[in-house]
Amino acid sequence: MTKQVEIDRLKALSPIDSLKKDNLHALVKKTKVRDAQPGEVLFRQGDAEKRTVYVLAGTVELREGEQTVAKIVGGSDNARNPLSPKLPRQHTAMATSAVEYLAIDSDLLDVMLTWDQTGSYEVSELRGEASGSDDWMTTLLQTKAFHKIPPANIQAIFMRLQQVNYRAGDVVIKQGEEGDYFYVITRGKCVVTRETPLNKEGIRLAELQVGDTFGEEALISEAKRNATVTLETDGSLMRLGKEDFRTLLNEPMLDWVDTAQAEKIIQEGGQWLDVRLPSEFEAYHNEGAVNVPLYFIRLKLKTLDPAINYVVCCDTGRRSSAGAFILNERGFQTYVLKGGLNRTGLPG
C-alpha cells in the first residue's frame, strides 16, 4: 500500500530539506509513502539499486550478516539521514515493527540537488520568457536524458536554449528531414505522427505536453527524423542547436580518480573537498575533509588555496563534478572522486 507523502515530512529529511520550493513540490508528486510489516526487508546487504531510503515511522534494524549494528526509529535525528547510503549496501534493513518509509530515485534527487546548488539563478530570465512557470524546467530536470548530462553543462544548456512561438497546426519537425534542433515544450501541446506506406496521413503515435522533449534521436544517431511533430494548440518551444546539443552532452574536461588514486593525492599534500550539505557531511565524511557546500563554492573561493590539489567529492560524483568545473574555470587544480563516496566507501 502506498500514499502521497506530505511536504512537511519531506522537509524534515536531509538533504531534501535544502531543496528550493519548486523542486520540493515536484519531488512530492514523485514520492509515495510505503508500508512494511515486522520482519519485512527494505533492502539487503549487497543491493546496488539506486534508491535513497528514509524511515518515517516505526523501527528498522540495520544488520551486517546476523549482527544488528543500528536501530533507526522514525522521527529521530538518525532517521533524518538516508539508511545505509553506500552502494552496494553494507547492511540489510529489516522492519522490526510496522514501518512507513520512502524509497526515492537517487539520480532524480541528486540532479535536483545539483541544479538547486549550481546556477538556477543564472537562468531567471528564461523563466519570464517561457509561459511564466518553472514547470517545464522542473519537468525537464527529472527526465532520464538530463540525468546523463554532466551537471557542469546544465546551466549552459539552459542559457543557450532559444524560444520559438508556434500556432496550432504548425509543423515543428517533419519525418524524413535532417535533424537540426532538440526541443522542449514550454507551453501548449504537440502530436507525434508517423507516415507508413499504407497511411500517408500519418499514424498518431503520442501527445506531448509541457516539459516533454523531442528531436534528440536524430541528433545523436545522425539519422533522419523518424516522425512528424505538429502543434495541436498554440504554444512555445525552447530549442537547442545540433552543435550545442552535441557539445553540451559531452563530459567537461575533468580529472576523475578512483579511491586509491585519491588517497595518493592526499598523502602527497592534497586535500579532500566535500561539496555536500553540512548535514550530509556531519553524517559521515572522509578524515581531514574540508566541507564547502556546492551552493557556497563561489563565495568561499578565497578560503581555498590555489597551490593545493583538491580531490572534490560528494555522494555520487554529480555535485562534485559541478564543483570541480567551477574551480577549474578559476585556475584551481582539482580531481573528482569517481562514483562518489556512496560508491567507493570511506578511506581510512
pLDDT tens per residue across span 224-240 = 888 899 999 999 998 98
Give the residue from 199, 113, 183 showing the smallest Cα distance to 145: 183
Question: 222 falls in which pLDDT band (50, 70, 90)?
Answer: low
- Which of residues 156 and 231 earns the better pLDDT score? 231
- DSSP E strand boundaries for 218-322: 228-231, 235-241, 256-257, 271-274, 290-291, 310-313
- Model pLDDT, residue 123: 41
Give the residue from 318, 276, 24, 19 showing the smallest Cα distance to 148: 318
Question: 221 falls in which pLDDT band (50, 70, 90)?
Answer: low
- Model pLDDT, residue 348: 35
pLDDT tens per residue across span 48-86 = 998 999 999 999 999 999 899 999 999 999 999 999 998
Q: CA-to-CA distance for 336 and 318, rounded, in angstroms?
A: 9
Contact 315, 110 (CB under 8 A): yes
Question: 128 falls in which pLDDT band (50, 70, 90)?
Answer: very low
- Model pLDDT, residue 301: 87
SS3 sequence, 230-245? EECCCEEEEEEEHHHH
Is the pLDDT reported for residue 121 higher than 60?
no
Q: CA-to-CA distance for 157 and 233, rounded, in angstroms?
A: 26
Q: Which residue has the cell 519531506?
A: 10
- Model pLDDT, residue 21: 83
Q: Which domains does the chain have, with CATH numbers?
A: 2-104 (2.60.120.10), 119-249 (2.60.120.10), 256-344 (3.40.250.10)
pLDDT tens per residue across span 267-317 = 999 999 999 999 999 988 999 999 999 888 878 889 999 999 999 999 988
Question: 135 falls in which pLDDT band (50, 70, 90)?
Answer: low
Is the pLDDT reported for residue 142 higher than 80?
no
Q: How far is CA 257 from CA 92, 151, 260, 297, 320, in A?
A: 29, 18, 8, 21, 12
Q: CA-to-CA distance for 235 and 239, rounded, in angstroms?
A: 13
Q: CA-to-CA distance for 191 and 32, rounded, in angstroms?
A: 31
Claim: this prediction has a pTM higher than 0.95: no
- Model pLDDT, residue 321: 84
Share of residues in the chain with pLDDT > 70 (%): 85
Torsion of CA 255, 256, 262, 265, to 10 degrees: -10
Backbone angles phi, psi at 239, to 5 degrees: -130, 150
Question: 92 falls in which pLDDT band (50, 70, 90)?
Answer: very high
- Model pLDDT, residue 29: 85
Give the residue from 276, 279, 302 showing the smallest Cα distance to 290: 276
**How many C-alpha atoms does 84 have within 13 Å on its Cβ side?**
25
DSSP 284: -
Is the pLDDT reported for residue 196 higher than 70?
yes
